[in-house]
Amino acid sequence: MGSVWPAEQGFFPLDEELQLLPGKLTPREHESLVRLSGWMPFEQAVELLEEVLGVAVSKIVAQSYMEAAGAAYVVLQEEEVVWLEENMPVPKEAADKLQISADGAMIPLLHGIWAEVRTLVVGEVQSRKLANGEQEIHTRNLSYFSRKVSAQEFQRQA
């Protein structure tokens, strides 16, 4: 019996057609890991992924997948900002009253470095009369936007 050439790693042409992501995770596992990593610390996300789907990955894999997903989302949002700047559609009818609040918070990065993250919150102000005649006011349908960018860039993106 003869020998065969050793198999080597390479690109499988069907990967692109099937839109498979790089790495060993299936698209469902990949999405689950990213979603979990957005809700909880990476250590807990990988523990839950293994418990629920039986897939073991490291904290570093969870972190890199989450960072890649976040970077892709930022690219999509930047494309939307550019589109809005070029096309500026007529606004849809809004609520009678909107509440807008902006703030900044210092967050710790690696190696003792701190940075400011800016946040904008927009919500619809709704009121109703209570049985005793008093007015109750609530802000609903809140939308949040946060970025670690300059004040000028934050204003543009928001």
The residue among 91, 115, 89, 92 whose CA lies nearest residue 104 is 115
The pLDDT tens digits of the residues spanning 26-37 come to: 889 999 999 999
The pLDDT tens digits of the residues spanning 40-99 come to: 999 999 999 999 999 999 999 999 999 999 999 989 999 999 999 899 888 778 788 999
Domain locations in the chain as residue ranges: 14-87, 98-157
The Cα–Cα gap between 101 and 120 comes to: 6
What average pLDDT does the segment 110-137 reach?
92
In this predicted structure, what is the pLDDT of residue 125? 93
Q: Indicate the pTM of the whole model.
A: 0.64
Q: How confident is the model at residue 122 (pLDDT cuts 50, 70, 90)?
A: very high
What b/e readout covers 23-48, taking b as 16+ CB neighbours within 10 angstroms? Answer: eebeeebbebbbebbeeeebeebbeb
What average pLDDT does the segment 14-40 reach?
82
Find the range with the poorest average confidence among 19-23, 87-91, 100-104.
Answer: 19-23
- Per the CB < 8 A criterion, the answer to whether 65 and 30 are in contact is yes
- Per the CB < 8 A criterion, the answer to whether 100 and 121 are in contact is yes
